[in-house]
């Protein structure tokens, strides 16, 4: 990366320590190099899958190839179908063909048993993608590695670029450049940045301190000391950012796990939602999956569970129905309106059946209309 040392004043070094990470100005030459590092880091899932499973045969061909493989026991395998699930057979084939780098058969079987074959294959592919990311990240060095680490930890591309560029900016300034009489602005920039990052002095006071250094002829020696300090402080700053991000990620993971356990306990403890209608195990599983299983991803990257995915189909219709259910008091346990409707419907059906009895002539006996009406009136009382 080229070092345009004369542009050092164009950087607002004081804002670097601001956790918002905004308004850090960097050189155009720095941007060109960092942008080059982004290309291998923003991994496309489809590209990785295409590389890992190139010329992947379909499921029927895989099974056929495994069964007809030439070996001393091939004839036996052809005659006796394998009892292993297809996902397991397919995973073994991918490992043997070199399409995946590792495979834990026992763990894979456990996932199949608990989550199904499709989920097991999904976990297998996800693991291979993460492994590929780690391999690429480990192959990077220097500033590219710093940038990769920050991106992996969740920092945006802009913030990662600004942070790494600010470090590279000071580390690329040589001692000869500082001592050069023509680089007065460089020395002023270094001293100004040093005071901004290490003190809480006002801009006016910092300017006075910098000017005084030049008046006393100490600008070169002080700029050298300030530059060494900046190199250390910016390295420490990145280290603190990483530590803070790791701790935050751990806290979020713990909180997520607690929320998930609370949800599962809540669902498992359900006996009934609508009075008189028991919630069985299968229904509880569906409720839990609808709340926790991602089923749709929006263009902005937001992942939706079953409930929000349903709302996304027609938000207005969903909200109108939800408002109606709330007004009915269903979320407050008031199911009287639903029960009354059920009773009313049953009563109407019974009345219809009784009325039809007067039209039945199979026995040769036609009941009087008055008798039928009396029966209807007496039965209505059962449903009040």
Q: Which 3 state secondary structure label does DSSP give 283?
A: helix
Vertex 40 angle, CA 37 and 43, to 5°: 130
Q: Please give the pLDDT value at position 359.
A: 52
Positions of the chain with pLDDT lower than 70, given as ranges: 1-82, 132-141, 337-348, 350-384
Whether residue 26 contacts residue 11, with contact meaning beta carbons closer than 8 Å, is answered with: yes
Q: Please give the pLDDT value at position 135.
A: 65
Q: Which 3 state secondary structure label does DSSP give 304?
A: strand
Residue that the structure tokens 């449903």 belong to: 383
Q: Please give the pLDDT value at position 137.
A: 58
Q: Please give the pLDDT value at position 331.
A: 85
* Residue-wise pLDDT tens digits, 37-68: 444 444 444 444 444 444 444 545 544 444 44
Instruction: Please report how many Cα atoms fall inside a 13 Å half-sphere around the Cα of residue 184, on the Cβ side.
Output: 8
Question: What residue spans define the domains of the chain?
Answer: 5-40+140-245, 45-138, 294-332, 339-383
Q: Please give the pLDDT value at position 46.
A: 45
Q: Please give the pLDDT value at position 374.
A: 57
pTM of the predicted model, to two decimals?
0.48
The DSSP 8-state label assigned to residue 13 in this structure reads: G
């Amino acid at each position: 990366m080229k070092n345009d040392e004369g542009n050092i004043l164009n950087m607002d070094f004081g804002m670097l320590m601001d956790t918002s990470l905004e308004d850090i100005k960097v050189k155009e030459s720095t941007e060109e190099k960092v942008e080059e590092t982004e290309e291998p880091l923003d991994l496309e899932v489809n590209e990785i899958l295409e590389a890992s499973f190139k010329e992947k045969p379909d499921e029927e061909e895989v099974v056929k190839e495994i069964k007809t493989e030439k070996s001393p026991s091939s004839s036996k395998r052809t005659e006796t179908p394998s009892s292993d699930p297809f996902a397991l057979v397919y995973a073994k084939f991918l490992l043997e063909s070199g399409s995946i780098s590792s495979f834990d058969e026992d763990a894979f079987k456990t996932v199949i048993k608990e989550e199904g074959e499709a989920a097991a294959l999904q976990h297998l592919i996800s693991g291979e993608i993460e492994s590929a990311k780690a391999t690429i990240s480990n192959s990077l060095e220097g500033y590219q590695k710093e940038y990769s680490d920050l991106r992996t930890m969740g920092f945006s591309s802009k913030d990662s670029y600004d942070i790494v560029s600010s470090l590279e900016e000071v580390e690329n300034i040589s001692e000869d450049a500082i001592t050069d009489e023509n680089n007065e602005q460089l020395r002023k920039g270094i001293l100004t940045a040093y005071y901004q990052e290490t003190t809480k002095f006002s801009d006016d006071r910092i300017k006075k301190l910098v000017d005084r250094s030049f008046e006393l002829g100490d600008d070169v020696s002080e700029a050298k000391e300030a530059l060494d300090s900046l190199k250390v402080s910016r390295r420490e700053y990145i280290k603190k950012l990483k530590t803070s991000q790791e701790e935050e990620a751990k806290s979020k993971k713990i909180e997520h796990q607690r929320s998930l356990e609370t949800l599962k306990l809540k669902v498992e403890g359900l006996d009934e939602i609508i009075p008189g209608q028991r919630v069985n195990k299968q229904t509880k599983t569906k409720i839990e999956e609808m709340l926790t299983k991602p089923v749709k991803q929006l263009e902005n990257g937001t992942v939706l569970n079953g409930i929000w995915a349903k709302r996304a189909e027609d938000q207005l219709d969903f909200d109108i129905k939800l408002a109606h259910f709330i007004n009915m008091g269903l979320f407050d346990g008031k199911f009287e309106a639903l029960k009354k409707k059920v009773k009313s419907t049953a009563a109407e059906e019974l009345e219809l059946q009784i009325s039809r009895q007067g039209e039945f002539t199979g026995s040769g006996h036609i009941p009087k209309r008055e008798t039928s009406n009396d029966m209807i009136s007496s039965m209505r009382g059962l449903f009040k």
